Amino acid sequence: MVKLRLQGIKAVLFDLDGTLVDSLEAIVNAVEKASESRGLKCDSAKVVKMIGLPLENIFGVLAPDLSEQEIQQLVHEYRKYYMAHHLENTTIRPSGQLVLRKLKAKGLKLGIITSKYGKPVMSVLSHFDIAELFDVVVTGYEVKKHKPEPDVVLEAAKRLGVKPKQCIVVGDSPVDVESGKRAGSFTIAVLSNTYDRKLLEDAKPTIIIEELEEILKII
């Protein structure tokens, strides 16, 4: 039950994977294919727990003995496979489009803040006909440091011409929550099939919601 109502909000910044879209299967498949290209075994359970981190970090954990150059080769293989197949296994959250359009109708600025690199982000937004709803898209590859550092939040706020404290950061992972908190923003954690409620509670967001449309009751 939503009991909190936030005031003074001018922008809502969304994580992408797990928050607006369910791309878990697409990501795991691409990591598996990239690993196979190097003759490596892929621990899918480990991959799931690392969703939201940069690809370099994920492959660094899965294959700690590889050089930085070899890790970059894995990233290259991942991106090649992912771009060719990710839309086959990606779905938008129920009511996702409706929530975004209603927030836009309230006069709020909308942004994407993601660890993903730009090309598949724009592909997904266009595929689900929501690209035009976002005033800004900031990826982890456009700033100095990835989440959980606040860089993507701060950069999005800067581009939108608002203060971080006037933003809500919406994400499905503890990393998203931490990034928003470090920026000084309100944080909404939305439950997904990747992170359980206990992990999100431990991250101490402003509020936890079960469904995306609950945001409309908060702002």
Supply the pLDDT for residue 194: 86
Are 75 and 122 in a shared domain? no
Are 155 and 171 in a shared domain? yes
Out of 69, 88, 107, pick the residue that ends a domain.
88
Are 46 and 154 in a shared domain? no
Supply the pLDDT for residue 4: 66
Domain region containing 81: 24-88
| CA dihedral for 14, 116, 58, 93, sign (positive or negative) | positive
Are 75 and 168 in a shared domain? no
Query: pLDDT digits over 102-135, tens only?
Result: 999 999 999 999 999 899 999 999 999 999 999 9
Written as six digits, the tokens of 66 are 């590889």
**The three-state (H, E, C) secondary structure of 88-108, written as one string:** HHCEECCCHHHHHHHHHHCCC
Task: Please compute the mean of the pLDDT values over residues 168-184 and round it to a whole number.
Answer: 97
CATH of the domain at 49: 1.10.150.240
Task: Please compute the mean of the pLDDT values over residues 196-215 and round it to a whole number.
Answer: 95
Supply the pLDDT for residue 2: 56
Instruction: Report if residue 32 sits inside a domain.
Output: yes
The one-letter amino acid code at 85 reads H
Are 172 and 205 in a shared domain? yes
Determine which helix (DSSP H) or strand (DSSP E) holds 113, and give its type and residue range. strand 109-114
* Structural domains counted in the chain: 2
* Band of pLDDT at residue 162, cut at 50, 70 and 90: very high
Are 78 and 126 in a shared domain? no
Are 17 and 42 in a shared domain? no
Bond prior to 150 in cis (omega within 30° of 0): no
Question: 206 with 6: CB under 8 angstroms?
Answer: yes
Are 74 and 109 in a shared domain? no
Average pLDDT, the chain: 94
Are 136 and 201 in a shared domain? yes
Query: pLDDT digits over 19-43, tens only?
Result: 999 999 999 999 999 999 989 989 8
Residue 195, phi-psi category: left (phi > 0), alpha (psi -120 to 50), beta (remainder): beta
Out of 88, 120, 142, pick the residue that ends a domain.
88
Query: Structure pTM?
Result: 0.92
Supply the pLDDT for residue 52: 82
Supply the pLDDT for residue 5: 73
Q: What DSSP line would sit under 13-58, residue for residue?
A: EE--BTTTEE-HHHHHHHHHHHHHHTT----HHHHHHTBTB-HHHH
